[in-house]
């Protein structure tokens, strides 16, 4: 039986790679005890992980900005090869290379039937919705590892049609587990369409994915805002306009410098609750981006909000922020008849179609987010570099399969 190394949170700013048991076809105790489900999981599969990515959502935990305990395993962006399938798994088999949506979903509850797989009712006793390796999300082990167990495999796994083609395009396909669908969800729910002008707040990987998605949806101009010069340069590398939020001044005026008017047709918040204000030495202001996108989105616009907001933030700037209560100008949004879409992206709604865009060469998401490969043992360094603002999307390669 092979071993299994996994990335583990060791306290604010610290992760390590630790040895744990090889996975079994069993559900986590939290799910078994809280939902009364059987421990044995013949509907599950075990995957040898081909690639697994470091996500900004992981970084929130590693910064100590959630209630994640020391010992929390990490990683929810998973692509892998099936090496074992339970007796009830009918449609995937050993040798298949598959993308794993970060949302864990049963495929049998009301939410799953409605396509809302981000809020499945049967995978987390604490609240609707679950994810691998994330605090308060059901106790599922993380996927920044060598092997992982995927429940309800027939429903959750997206099998790539050709193994050789998948390995050739793995740096693009690895983004299907989260950030490409999440960015697309942000742009799509913001109403981006042919000829739209679009503002994307945040030039991290999700923001860059949203910007690329907006281009695929037909936007005429995509403007990306950030404080980080390297990340803004990355946005420009694939045709985006940018605004440097380290400058003083009003965002609408910066938008007008690009578009000739101070508003856009659609806006996306790809930052979330650790947002900062504008200017060179701006302090954290968690409602900044939400208020910005209401300010510069035209009347009647839709706002996509894939950026993460939490109900527990020990590092919040005040007592309200610590429980996710922010100073959002809802009156402004109401007066402008804005609509808002929040919450986890339902990855299965988009991943198959985005896979087709990658395999056909229409989408080049790895280039857009500057995918950068590291061995699993270098995960701690990847976290540190990402936290310092590197304009890269770190892809961990546990078995040396990405290079091959």
In this predicted structure, the answer to whether residue 301 has a pLDDT above a threshold of 80 is yes
Beta strands at 97-100 and 77-85: parallel, antiparallel or unpaired: antiparallel
Q: Which pTM does this prediction carry?
A: 0.97
Q: Residue 356's pLDDT is what?
A: 98
d(CA 8, CA 81): 22
With beta carbons less than 8 A apart as the criterion, state whether 67 and 134 touch.
no
For residue 1, what pLDDT band results from cuts at 50, 70 and 90? low
Query: What phi and psi, each to the nearest 5 degrees, are found at residue 81?
Result: -105, 130
Task: Please compute the mean of the pLDDT values over residues 226-243 and round it to a whole number.
Answer: 98
In this predicted structure, the answer to whether residue 22 has a pLDDT above a threshold of 60 is yes
Task: Please compute the mean of the pLDDT values over residues 41-53 and round it to a whole number.
Answer: 98
Q: Residue 64's pLDDT is what?
A: 94
Taking all residues of the chain, what is their mean pLDDT, rounded to a whole number? 97
- The CATH-assigned architecture of domain 180-341 is 3-Layer(aba) Sandwich (3.40)
Name the superfamily (CATH) of residues 4-178+345-397. Answer: Medium-chain alcohol dehydrogenases, catalytic domain (3.90.180.10)
Per residue in 99-153, pLDDT (tens digit) is 999 999 999 999 999 999 999 999 999 999 999 999 999 999 999 999 999 999 9
Task: Please compute the mean of the pLDDT values over residues 278-285 and round it to a whole number.
Answer: 89
In this predicted structure, the answer to whether residue 231 has a pLDDT above a threshold of 70 is yes
Q: Residue 146's pLDDT is what?
A: 98
Q: Residue 2's pLDDT is what?
A: 80
Task: Please compute the mean of the pLDDT values over residues 27-47 and round it to a whole number.
Answer: 97
Task: Please compute the mean of the pLDDT values over residues 376-390 and round it to a whole number.
Answer: 97
Q: How large a percentage of the chain has pLDDT more than 70?
A: 99
In this predicted structure, the answer to whether residue 404 has a pLDDT above a threshold of 60 is no
Q: How many CB atoms lie within 10 A of CB 13?
A: 13
d(CA 328, CA 348): 30
In this predicted structure, the answer to whether residue 354 has a pLDDT above a threshold of 90 is yes
* DSSP assignment of 277-331: -SSTTPPB-TTHHHHHHHHHBPTT-EEE--S---S--TT-SSTTGGGT-----HH
Alpha-carbon dihedral 197, 199, 203, 204, rounded to 10 degrees: -110
Q: What residue segments make up the domains of the chain, in order of their start?
A: 4-178+345-397, 180-341
Q: If we measure between CA atoms, which residue out of 393, 401, 394 comes closest to residue 379?
A: 394
d(CA 54, CA 19): 19
- Provide the 3-class DSSP secondary structure of residue 211: helix
For residue 16, what pLDDT band results from cuts at 50, 70 and 90? very high
Q: Residue 8's pLDDT is what?
A: 98
In this predicted structure, the answer to whether residue 403 has a pLDDT above a threshold of 80 is no
In this predicted structure, the answer to whether residue 256 has a pLDDT above a threshold of 90 is yes
Per residue in 52-93, pLDDT (tens digit) is 999 999 999 999 999 999 999 999 999 999 999 999 999 999
Per residue in 180-222, pLDDT (tens digit) is 999 999 999 999 999 999 999 999 999 999 999 999 999 999 9
In this predicted structure, the answer to whether residue 42 has a pLDDT above a threshold of 80 is yes
With beta carbons less than 8 A apart as the criterion, state whether 101 and 82 touch.
no
Q: Residue 248's pLDDT is what?
A: 87
Q: Which residues contact 85 (CB under 8 A, 6 or more apart)?
A: 44, 45, 46, 92, 93, 94, 153
């Amino acid at each position: 039986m092979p071993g299994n190394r996994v990335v583990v949170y060791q306290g604010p700013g610290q992760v390590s790679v630790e040895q744990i048991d090889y996975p079994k076809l069993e559900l986590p105790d939290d799910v078994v005890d809280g939902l009364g489900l059987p421990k044995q999981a013949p509907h599950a599969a075990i995957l040898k992980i081909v690639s697994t990515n470091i996500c900004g959502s992981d970084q929130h935990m590693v910064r100590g900005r959630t209630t994640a305990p020391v010992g929390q395993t990490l990683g929810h962006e998973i692509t892998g090869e099936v090496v074992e399938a339970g007796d009830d798994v009918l449609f995937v088999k050993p040798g298949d290379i598959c993308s794993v949506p970060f949302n864990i979903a049963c495929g049998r509850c009301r939410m799953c039937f409605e396509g809302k797989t981000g809020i499945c009712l049967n995978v987390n006793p604490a609240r609707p919705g679950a994810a691998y390796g994330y605090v308060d999300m059901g106790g599922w082990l993380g996927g920044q590892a060598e092997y992982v167990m995927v429940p309800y495999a027939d429903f959750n796994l997206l099998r790539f049609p050709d193994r050789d083609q998948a390995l050739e395009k793995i740096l693009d396909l690895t983004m299907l587990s989260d950030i490409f669908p999440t960015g697309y969800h942000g742009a799509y729910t913001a109403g981006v369409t042919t000829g739209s002008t679009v503002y994307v707040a945040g030039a991290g990987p999700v923001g860059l994915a949203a910007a690329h998605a907006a281009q695929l949806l037909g936007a005429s101009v995509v403007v990306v805002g950030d404080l980080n010069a390297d990340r803004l340069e990355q946005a420009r590398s694939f045709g985006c306009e940018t605004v440097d939020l380290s400058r003083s001044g009003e965002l609408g005026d910066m938008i007008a410098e690009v578009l000739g008017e101070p508003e856009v047709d659609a806006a996306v918040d790809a930052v979330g609750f650790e947002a900062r204000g504008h200017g060179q030495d701006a302090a954290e202001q968690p409602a900044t981006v939400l208020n910005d996108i209401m300010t510069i989105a035209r009347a009647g616009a839709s706002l996509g909000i894939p950026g993460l907001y939490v109900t527990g933030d020990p590092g919040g700037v005040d007592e309200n922020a610590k429980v996710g209560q922010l100073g959002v100008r809802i009156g402004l949004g109401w007066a402008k008849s804005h609509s808002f879409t929040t919450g986890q992206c339902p990855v299965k709604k988009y991943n198959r179609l985005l896979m087709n865009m990658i395999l056909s060469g229409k989408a080049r998401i790895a280039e857009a987010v500057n995918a950068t490969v590291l061995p699993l043992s270098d995960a701690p360094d990847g976290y540190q570099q990402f936290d310092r603002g590197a304009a890269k999307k770190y892809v961990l390669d546990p078995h040396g399969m990405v290079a091959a």
